[in-house]
Chain A
Amino acid sequence: MHMRAYLLRKAVGMVVTVLLVSAISFFVLQVIPGDPAQVILGTEASPEALQDLRVQLGLDRPLRVRYWAWLKGLFRGNLGESLRYQRPVAELLWERLPVTFILSFAAVTLALTGALPMALLAARHAGSPLDLLVVLASQLGLALPPFWIGLLLIILFSLKLGWLPPGGYILPGDGAITALGYLILPSLALSLPLAAHLVWLLRQSILEVIERDFIRTARAKGLPENLIYCRHALRNALIPTMTVLGIHMGTLLGGSIIIEQVFSLPGLGRLVLFAVYNRDWPLLQGGVVFMATAVVLVNFFTDLVYGFLDPRISVTDN
C-alpha cells in the first residue's frame, strides 16, 4: 500500500516537473528576440513572404493559444510539427534517439568499468604512489574539456594510427561492427570526464566508509581486508556515487551537444541546439519534455537503487 502511494506521489511529482519545465522553456523562447520566419527566410525575405510564412507556421496566434494548443496535443501524445523540418516532432526525436541512447549507455558503462577498480585500488592503497597517480589522473580527467579530449582521440586513433573513423555515423542496421567503430571514440571522449568524477568521488566515499563502526566490526570478525573493501565498503560508498551517476545519466540522455558536434553525430543535442537557433519552438518543446522526462525517470530509478544498495533506506519513507 505504502509502495503504491509512494509511486503515485512520485508520478504526480514527475508530471508536474515536466509541465513546469515545458512552460518555462516555452515562455523563455518567446521572450528572447528573433522570429522563426525571419530565421528561415534570412536576409532575402520580403515582408509579404515573412507574413505569409508567419501565418503558415501559426505564429500569428496569441501566445496562450499556442501554448494551450501545444499542451492539449501533448496529452494526446502529439508533440506537434517542427517549424524548420515540417515533420512531426516525435518522429524527429525518435530518429535521433538511437545515437544518443547508445552513446549514453556506452559512456556510462565504460566510465563505471574503469572507475570502480581504480577507485578501489586507490582507496585500498591510500597515500601510496599508486593512489597519487589515480588522484592525479582523475583531476586531469576533470579538468580537460570533453571536446578537446575528443579532438586528441581523433588525432591519435584516426589520423596517426588509422584504427577508427574520425567521426560520422551509420545506422547499426547497415553493419553492426562498422557502426560500433563509429561510436567508440565519442563514447570514450564522453566517458573520460565521467570516469574521472566517479573515481574521485568513489575513492573519497570508500575512505570515509572505511572508518565506520561496521567496518571495524567486520575487521574484528577477522574478514580479509580485500573482502571488506569489495563487499562492505564499496557497497556503502556506492550510494553517493549513484546520485552523481544518475545526474550524469539524465544529462547524457539529453544528448551531448559538444561531442555530437566534434564527431558529427546526429544526436538529440544538436537537434535541440538547432531548434534554439532556428526558434523552432515545437521542436525545442518536444526536446525539453523528452529531456525532463529522462532526468526525472533516471532520478526515480536512482531512488529505487538506493533501497537495494542500503536496505535501511526505504523508498516508502518520507
Chain B
Amino acid sequence: MGRLVRVVIVSLAVALLLSGVGCAKGRLVVGVPADVDGLDPHRTVAAATFQVVCNIYDTLVEVTPDGRLVPGLAASWEISPDGLQYTFTLHRGIKVHTGRELRGADVAASFRRILDPDTNHPRAADYRVIDSIETPDAETVIFHLKEKSPAFLSNLAMGWAAVVPPEAVGEAKFRPIGTGPFMFADWVPDSHLILRRFADYFRPREPLLEDVVFRVIPEPSVGIINLKTGAVDVLSWLAPQDVVGVKADPRTKVVESPMNGIYLLAMNNARPPLNDRRVRQAINLAIDKQAIVDGVHWGQGRVIGSHMPPVSPFYVDLTAMYPYDPEKARQLLTEAGYEQGLELSITLPQPYDFHIRNGEIIAQQLEKVGIRVRLEVMEWGNWLDRVYFGQDYQAATIGHTGRLDPDPFLNRYASDSRENYMNYQNPDYDELVELGGATLDMDERLRIYRRLQEILAEDAVAVYLMSPNLAVGMKANVSGWQIYPIDILNLRRVYKEE
C-alpha cells in the first residue's frame, strides 16, 4: 500500500513537472534600435535582419556563446580526410512551419539558391567553394568542395547560410517560412514585428515563450524609458552611458559580453604621408587608446593591438607594441622628415556617433605631436562611396564585425583583395594568408593567424583601437538571455519569470 502511494505520488510529480516544462507562456517585447530591411536572410547584409530571422530559420551548424560549433539542423557531420567532402546527417523529424518534414533536398536547394547569381546573395563568394551537393537520402546532405576550406564549417553557422525551404522563396522578404523556433506573424515596417511560437519545433520543449514582439525604438534615451516603464522587456542594445543606470535600478539588469568586433582608425597606406611606415607608427604611438575606451565608451571595451578581437581564440595580445608615447612619436615623425608636423584628414561616418567621437579624441591627441587634423563628417552612403569603395581618403574611423573564422576577417589585407581599402601591400602577408586559407591543422592555423596579426601591427597598417562590449538591458524577470559571437538575438531559451 505504502509502495503504491509512493508510485502514485512520484508519477503525479513527474506528470506535473512535464506538463509545466512543456507549457510555454508569455510575450516578450524586445526593443531594437533599427528595423529589419526584409526577412530574407539570403538577400541582405543588415545586422538588424539577422538578429531577428535567426529565430525563424535554422542553420546546419550553430555557434555557442563561447564560439564552439555545434549541431544545428544537422545532428552530426563527417569531414573526409582530404577535407573536400562534408557529410551532414539531419535531425529526425524537423518540421517546416507549413507542417511538412524538412528533407535533405530542401537543404541542397537552399544552398543552390545562395549560389544562384539571380539571388544576388551578398556573401555568395563565401560558398563558391562548393562544387556540388548530393542528397542520397532524405536525411543526408553531402557537400563536395573544389578545394580545402577551413572556414567552410563556420560559414555554415552564419545567419546568411540559413536554410530557406523552397516554399518560402517567393515571398521570403515579407512572409518567411522556416524551420526555426518561431513563426512569422506580422510586420509593420519601422514599428514592430511579431513572431509566434512554433509548436512543432524539432527541439523538444523549446522555445519557451508564446510570442515575441520586436519594437523599433530608434532613440536610445526613449528606449531606456520604455525599459523602465516596462513597455519593453528587453533592450537589445544599451548605449555605454546607460549601462550603469540600468544596472543600478532593481527593476532591471544588464547582460554583457565582449563583442566579436573591433573599432579602428583606418589609414590609406598608399597615400603620402601615410605610405611611410614611420608616420603610421608615430600615429599609433601618439594615440592613447585607453582614453578613447574611457572617454567615448565609458570603459565598456578593451584596448587591442591588431585586427582581431580578444574573444577570438586566434587573438594575440599586441597592445604592448605601441604604448602611448608622444615623445617617441615626435621622434619618429622627425626621422620621417616631418619635424614641422604634418596635416591629416580623418573622415568620420555619420550617423555613427561613437566613430565620430573616436575621431574627435584622436584629433586632439594627434595635435599634441604636431599632426594637424582636419575632421570631415560624412553621411554613411557618401562615406562608403568615398572611403570604402573609392579609397579616396587619408584616414577614417570605422568598425569591423568579427567572423567565426579568422580567414574572412584577415584576408582583406591581401594585396589583391577587393576589400583592401587600406591599400596594404605585402607579399609575405599575401603568402601567409593563402597558406592559412588552405590549412586544416588547428595548431598550424593558430600559428599562421597570430603571425598575420603581428605583421599588421609591426607595419602599423591601421590604429587598432578597441573591441567594444555589447550590453543588453532587460527587466529583472527575464532569464536565459545569451550573447553570441555572431550578431543574433537567439530567443529559443529565453523566458520570463512571473
Contact = CB atoms under 8 A, between A and B. Distances in A.
Interface in A28-48: 32-35, 38-48
Contacts of B400: 43
B189 A266 contact: yes
A308 interface: no
Given A47-B418, A84-B37, A264-B219, A168 B381 contact: no
Given A166-B231, A264-B215, A270-B190, A53 B226 contact: no
Contacts of B219: 261-262, 264
B327 interface: no
Given A56-B120, A86-B38, A154 B222 contact: yes
A11 interface: no
B320 interface: no
Interface string A40-65: 11111111111011001000000000
Nearest to A92: B189
Interface centre among A38, A48, A265 (most CB of B within 10 A): A38
Contact of B191 (A48, A84, A264): A264
Given A33-B386, A34-B381, A169-B191, A263 B229 contact: no
Contacts of A278: 381
A98 to B, nearest CB: 11
Interface residues of B, number: 43
Contacts of B120: 49, 52-53, 56
B38 A34 contact: no
Interface string B216-230: 111101100110110
Interface string B108-121: 00000000010011
Interface stretch (B122-130, B280-288, B476-484): B122-130
B381 to A, nearest CB: 3
A279 B381 contact: yes
A102 interface: no
B350 to A, nearest CB: 10
Interface in A149-177: 151, 154-155, 158-159, 162, 165-169, 171
A165 B222 CA distance: 11
B4 interface: no
B385 A33 contact: yes
A168 B216 CA distance: 8
Contacts of B37: 40, 84-85
Nearest to B160: A44
Interface string B390-418: 00000000101000000000000000001
Nearest to A42: B45
Contacts of B352: none
Contact of A38 (B173, B217, B384, B418): B384
B379 interface: yes
Interface string B444-485: 000000000000000000000000000000000000000000
A277 to B, nearest CB: 6
Given A85-B189, A264-B191, A168 B231 contact: yes
A42 B120 CA distance: 14
A208 interface: no
Contact of B380 (A39, A56, A266): A39
A151 B221 contact: yes
Contacts of A38: 381, 384-385, 388-389
Interface string B371-382: 000000001111
B191 A261 contact: no
Contacts of A167: 217, 222, 226, 231
A151 B380 contact: no
A149 to B, nearest CB: 13
A225 interface: no
B188 interface: yes
B122 A34 contact: no
A49 B217 contact: no
B192 interface: yes
Interface in B177-236: 188-192, 215-219, 221-222, 225-226, 228-229, 231
A277 B383 CA distance: 11
A41 B222 contact: no
The 9 closest A-B pairs by CB, nearest first: A34-B381, A266-B190, A266-B191, A42-B45, A33-B382, A166-B225, A39-B381, A33-B385, A38-B384
Interface of A: 32-35, 38-50, 52-53, 56, 84-87, 92, 95, 151, 154-155, 158-159, 162, 165-169, 171, 261-266, 270-271, 274, 277-279
Interface of B: 37-38, 45-46, 117, 120-125, 173-174, 188-192, 215-219, 221-222, 225-226, 228-229, 231, 379-382, 384-386, 388-389, 398, 400, 418-419
Given A35-B385, A43-B400, A159-B229, 6 more contacts: A39-B384, A41-B45, A42-B46, A44-B123, A265-B191, A277-B380
